């Protein structure tokens, strides 16, 4: 099968443990613990290969990590795009069909589907209120529509110079997506290189302010949640480290994941995403997963 821009991360994702991301007890407020070691390993791949300056390569690593975090929350492997293997976007109906075909036929169809961009594209494109938007991470089904739409951005230099453009785009995208999909969890996740703290502290303060202001203030505009992470590396070995000490708690990835997951659950019935609900509520929910395709 041909490789794509996410292929460099496949082995690291395959070796990663899903585990349990929640650290709270039953009856306590949800507390999420992201796998920052995996984030560092994924982002080290493009940086060590000399592609640290390519924000597209870094962004694909961030997208792969956030998708993995949603799978840790027990959203299904075929529900979350990009998937950990090709094809990255695969309608769940087709995934169920492939599971039910005889193995030989399924392998043949799967190989054909993976090379048909109209059916299984590398990127998910979602129509918003005013225009079509490439969404970096998504959960969607034809019978439910988009349930989670997530945009990611990375910035490793020229922080102050490009910051305004980043947030103008982000604000417009939030209104566009929420205008058509008001029940979906719509998020914005930003990764900056930690050199901003030393080189452009004013730009970092502006970043924090804008991450807060991008959040929804009513039912029709702004993001469900925004999150920020800082990373850094030394050019000698390219090993990435995640640095969060300077990131305020209200914009850290922990609160971002908690809000995104709980918003999806708020927008769906108790018979949907039962495994996700059971894990976050710390109990076995005695409800059968609703699935009209089975």
State the pLDDT confidence band at 294, using cuts at 50, 70 and 90: very low
Q: pTM for the full model? A: 0.93
Average pLDDT, the chain: 91
Residue 65 reports pLDDT greater than 60: yes
Residue 140 reports pLDDT greater than 70: yes
212 closest CA partner among 197, 200, 227: 227
Handedness of CA 22, 81, 273, 183 (dihedral sign): positive
State the pLDDT confidence band at 103, using cuts at 50, 70 and 90: confident
Q: What is the mean pLDDT of residues 155-170?
A: 90
pLDDT number for residue 53: 76
Would you say 271 and 288 are in contact if contact means Cβ atoms under 8 Å apart? yes
Residue 187 reports pLDDT greater than 70: yes
Tell me how far apart the alpha carbons of residues 40 and 19 are, in angstroms, rounded to a whole number. Answer: 17
Residue 283 reports pLDDT greater than 90: yes
Tell me how far apart the alpha carbons of residues 196 and 43 are, in angstroms, rounded to a whole number. Answer: 18
pLDDT number for residue 97: 82
Would you say 33 and 21 are in contact if contact means Cβ atoms under 8 Å apart? yes
Q: What is the mean pLDDT of residues 22-43?
A: 97
The better pLDDT of the pair 3, 130 is held by 130
pLDDT number for residue 292: 47
Across 71-85, 113-127, 236-250, least confident range: 113-127
């Amino acid at each position: 099968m041909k490789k794509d821009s996410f292929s460099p991360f496949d082995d690291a994702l395959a070796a990663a443990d899903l585990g349990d991301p929640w650290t709270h007890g039953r009856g306590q407020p949800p507390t999420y613990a992201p796998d920052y070691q995996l984030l560092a390993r994924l982002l080290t791949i493009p940086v060590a290969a000399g592609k640290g300056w390519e924000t597209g390569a870094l962004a694909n690593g961030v997208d792969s990590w956030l998708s993995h975090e949603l799978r840790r929350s027990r959203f299904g492997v075929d529900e979350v795009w990009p998937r950990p293997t090709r094809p990255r976007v695969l309608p769940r109906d087709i995934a169920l069909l492939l599971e039910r075909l005889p193995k030989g036929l399924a392998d043949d169809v799967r190989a054909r589907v993976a090379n048909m961009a109209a059916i299984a594209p590398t990127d998910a494109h979602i129509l918003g209120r005013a225009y079509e938007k490439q969404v970096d991470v998504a959960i969607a089904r034809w019978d439910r529509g988009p349930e989670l739409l997530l945009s990611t951005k990375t910035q490793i230099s020229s922080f102050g110079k490009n910051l305004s453009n980043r947030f103008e785009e982000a604000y417009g995208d939030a209104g566009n997506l929420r205008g058509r999909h008001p029940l979906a969890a719509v998020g914005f996740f930003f990764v900056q290189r930690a050199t901003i703290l030393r080189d452009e502290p004013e730009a970092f303060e502006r970043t924090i302010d804008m991450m807060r202001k991008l959040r929804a203030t009513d039912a029709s505009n702004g993001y469900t949640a925004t999150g920020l992470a800082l990373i850094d590396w030394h050019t000698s070995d390219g090993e990435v480290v995640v640095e969060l000490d300077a990131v305020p708690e209200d914009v850290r990835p922990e609160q971002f994941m908690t809000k995104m997951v709980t918003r999806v659950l708020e927008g769906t019935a108790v018979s949907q995403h039962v495994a996700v609900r059971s894990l976050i509520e710390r109990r076995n929910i005695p409800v059968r997963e609703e699935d009209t395709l089975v």
